[in-house]
């Protein structure tokens, strides 16, 4: 395709020269965030606290340079001395996972694959520093592990070893959904040289394995196969005897499964899971009797979603929950009583936490002003304090104001959302709007950081757009009834909510009704395709990512057909083909007047790229509407690699600038891509 040639604005030229000569402070770009700045954002990934509360470990996700390396972000390990507040870069320049404090050892362990390693192995490094040493390796990659209380035994998960067979032929076909490789669980004593691991003899694929506090049992989450659909809908928790490796109990549960943890005395397990097979999310709190596996659902009518729970003592749990667009942290008794709020809604968004016996807490936190950072709260305090600043340059960047929006639909539903205003917003002026629709639909946006490569956020605000994030019916964080309110009505009232949200913003005088755009990925891509066809008269531009266009073909080509049935459609496609077809964007393409940019990972197994091919071909053949299909080789259900992410940001913002503002772009990033010669129109 022909490249675009234009005069480069002076600001873009200065920025380009700065990068070429190594002056890479992103603040040089301009007021507001550009795609280049977004591609450089770092964020805290996971947080861990030592049992004595004196040391916090956390990972920082460091993106690759999209101009040099199309690779995923790396997770670097840092330590915090809780008493002094000093942080120390512990392992950088490579990516680690599975971080843990090793019991009875002054050390941290993690999973890595270094040069010369045949597989991903467990490494150990002293808390005082020094060189990390390989502690244990297996014949296949270790994907996770848990330390027993003695600090010597561990239960680890690794791919099932298989013998390689030589074929007399130079070519081998793939047999779909056959000859699959399970993940097995093993027990190993790393303190005994030459000790051979003992496999826990259960069928299926193991996703979690946790020791009981007295080291006599292991709780294991297992699905019958490694198929994604089974991981979503068919995981079971088994209680295994350490010595005999026999199954002592099976937890009585049906539906999606989240995290779980043992009580300190080992007689109970706290489990976050679905309420039943039709609950779309693992967000309900259950207490399991560890002897017989019986489970009791607590706070069934809780109008929120439990994200994480950890035991404070034998009868009390700390909980972290989403409530609407906010988060809440507190304690709850194991019988469901005395729900005590410690950190209420209305503040920074808590993503995860860890705690120690001395009353110290650490949190992963985001706000509208910054991505995830490490926060600390000591005993007696009730407000966490920010510790890290992963992007100090961001403090100098002017951002658009972000606020919570709510409106009532015609049928009486209260819908929440978040609005980012254009940076130079002036009341009374109507602005072009980008709607950002979340996937799932069992997901929600919270009032934290709302900008990434595929989420316009502050990039849109810097370009003069209002950016709206509606949590339409079926979103999470509002209780089970709201989460199930869209089931059996694909593309029905759930997407009508989005249109009514636009109407609300127009009525408030914020939005120019002739300049409304929509974007989203996965189920949000389905919404984008639907609104760009069925409601095409309302939307002037769309950017669809890994989205659905044909519900009939989607069912047979997705890796989660049963999940679709149980928690979305609630009826089989063969029971009503016509209804499924009419709820498909391709059915409404004759209405399509909305210029649509379609982007998709070529290796997507969740939503097959054929969904994008189909919609592209229908629009291209049946209309004169502008449409473009961009495919990302090596990417799946979302882009993981830096250059692919950066390319997506550029194309998305350029599309909205062109079709909502009548200009290709005035942003320096677009000029940079031309000079770099790496990204074509």
Report the phi/psi class of residue 358: left, alpha or beta, with left for phi > 0 and alpha for psi in -120 to 50.
alpha
pLDDT value for 60? 98
| Of 681, 678, 680, 665, the residue nearest 12 (C-alpha) | 665
CA distances from 102 to 86, 135, 632 (A): 22, 11, 41
- State residue 38 phi and psi, 5-degree precision: -60, -35
Number of other CB atoms surrounding residue 638 within 10 Å: 19
- Cβ-in-10-Å burial (0-12, 13-18, 19+) of 67 comes to middle
pLDDT value for 664? 61
Q: For residue range 587-636, what is the model confidence (pLDDT) as tens digits?
A: 999 999 999 999 999 999 999 999 999 999 999 999 999 999 999 999 99
d(CA 431, CA 625): 24
pLDDT value for 606? 97
pLDDT value for 31? 82
| Of 61, 60, 144, the residue nearest 110 (C-alpha) | 144
Contact present, 215 and 150 (Cβ < 8 Å): yes
pLDDT value for 167? 82
Segment 277-305 shows an average pLDDT of 97
Which tokens in the block code for residue 528?
A: 């984008």
What residue has token string 């270790």?
142
Which tokens in the block code for residue 190?
A: 């790393």
Which tokens in the block code for residue 475?
A: 């979103």
Contact present, 489 and 402 (Cβ < 8 Å): no
Segment 357-384 shows an average pLDDT of 97
What is the value of pTM for the model shown?
0.93
pLDDT value for 69? 95
pLDDT value for 316? 98
d(CA 18, CA 23): 5
Segment 362-391 shows an average pLDDT of 97
pLDDT value for 166? 81
pLDDT value for 296? 98
Segment 559-584 shows an average pLDDT of 97
What residue has token string 């490569």?
453
Segment 465-475 shows an average pLDDT of 98
Contact present, 216 and 232 (Cβ < 8 Å): no
What three-state secondary structure class fits 396? Answer: helix
């Amino acid at each position: 395709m022909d490249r675009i040639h234009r005069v480069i604005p002076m600001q873009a030229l200065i920025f380009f020269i700065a990068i070429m000569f190594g002056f890479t402070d992103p603040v040089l770009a301009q007021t507001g965030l550009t795609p280049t700045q977004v591609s450089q954002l770092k964020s805290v990934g996971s947080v861990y606290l030592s049992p004595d509360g004196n040391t916090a470990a956390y990972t920082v996700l460091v993106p690759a340079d999209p101009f040099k390396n199309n690779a995923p972000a790396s997770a670097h390990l840092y330590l915090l001395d809780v008493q002094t507040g000093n942080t120390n870069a512990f392992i950088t320049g490579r990516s680690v996972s599975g971080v843990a404090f090793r019991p009875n050892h002054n050390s941290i362990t993690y999973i890595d694959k270094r040069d010369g390693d045949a597989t991903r192995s467990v490494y150990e490094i002293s808390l005082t520093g020094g060189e990390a040493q390989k502690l244990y390796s297996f014949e296949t990659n270790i994907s996770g592990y848990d330390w027993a209380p003695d600090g010597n035994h561990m239960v680890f998960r690794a791919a099932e070893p298989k013998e390689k067979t030589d074929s007399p032929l130079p070519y081998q076909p793939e047999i779909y959904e056959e000859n699959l490789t399970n993940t097995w669980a093993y027990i190993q004593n790393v303190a005994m040289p030459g000790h051979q691991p003992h496999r826990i003899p259960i069928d299926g694929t193991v996703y979690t394995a946790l020791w009981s506090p007295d080291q006599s049992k292991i709780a294991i989450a297992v699905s019958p196969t490694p198929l994604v659909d089974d991981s979503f809908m068919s995981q079971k928790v088994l209680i295994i005897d350490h010595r005999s490796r026999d199954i002592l109990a099976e937890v009585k549960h049906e539906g999606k499964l989240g995290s779980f943890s043992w009580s300190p005395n080992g007689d109970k397990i706290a489990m976050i899971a679905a309420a039943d097979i039709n609950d779309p999310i693992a967000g309900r709190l259950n207490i399991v009797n560890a002897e017989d596996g019986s489970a009791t659902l607590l706070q069934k009518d809780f109008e929120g979603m439990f994200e994480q729970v950890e035991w404070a003592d034998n009868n009390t749990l700390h909980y972290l929950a989403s409530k609407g667009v906010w988060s809440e942290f507190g304690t709850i008794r194991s019988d469901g009583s005395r729900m005590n709020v410690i950190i209420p809604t209305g503040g920074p968004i808590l993503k995860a936490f860890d705690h120690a016996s001395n009353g110290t807490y650490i949190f992963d936190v985001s706000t509208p002003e910054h991505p995830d950072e490490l926060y600390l709260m000591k005993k007696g305090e009730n407000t966490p304090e920010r510790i890290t600043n992963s992007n100090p340059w961001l403090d100098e960047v002017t951002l658009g104001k972000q606020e919570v929006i709510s409106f009532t639909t015609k049928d009486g539903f209260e819908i929440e959302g978040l609005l980012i205003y254009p940076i130079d917003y002036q009341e009374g002026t109507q602005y072009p709007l980008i709607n950002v629709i979340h996937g799932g639909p069992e997901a929600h946006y919270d009032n934290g950081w709302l900008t990434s490569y595929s989420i316009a956020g502050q990039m849109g605000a810097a370009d003069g757009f209002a950016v709206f994030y509606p949590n339409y019916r079926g979103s999470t964080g509002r209780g089970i009834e709201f989460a199930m309110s869209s089931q059996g009505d694909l593309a029905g009232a759930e997407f009508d909510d989005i249109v009514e949200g636009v109407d609300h913003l127009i009525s408030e005088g914020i939005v120019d009704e002739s300049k409304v755009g929509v974007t989203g990925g996965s189920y949000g891509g389905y919404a984008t395709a639907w609104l760009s066809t069925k409601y095409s008269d309302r939307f002037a531009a769309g950017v669809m990512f890994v989205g659905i266009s044909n519900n009939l073909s989607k069912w047979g080509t997705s890796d989660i057909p049963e999940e679709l049935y149980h928690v979305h459609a609630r009826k089989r496609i063969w029971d009503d083909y016509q209804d499924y077809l009419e709820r498909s964007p391709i059915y409404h393409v004759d209405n399509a007047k909305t210029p649509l940019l379609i982007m998709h990972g070529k290796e997507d197994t969740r939503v097959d790229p054929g969904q994008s091919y189909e919609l592209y071909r229908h629009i291209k053949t049946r209309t004169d509407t502008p449409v473009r299909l961009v495919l990302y080789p090596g990417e799946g259900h979302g882009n993981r690699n830096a250059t692919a992410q950066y390319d997506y940001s550029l194309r998305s913002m350029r599309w909205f600038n062109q079709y909502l503002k009548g200009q290709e772009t005035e942003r320096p990033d677009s000029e940079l891509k031309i000079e770099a010669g790496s990204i074509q129109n």
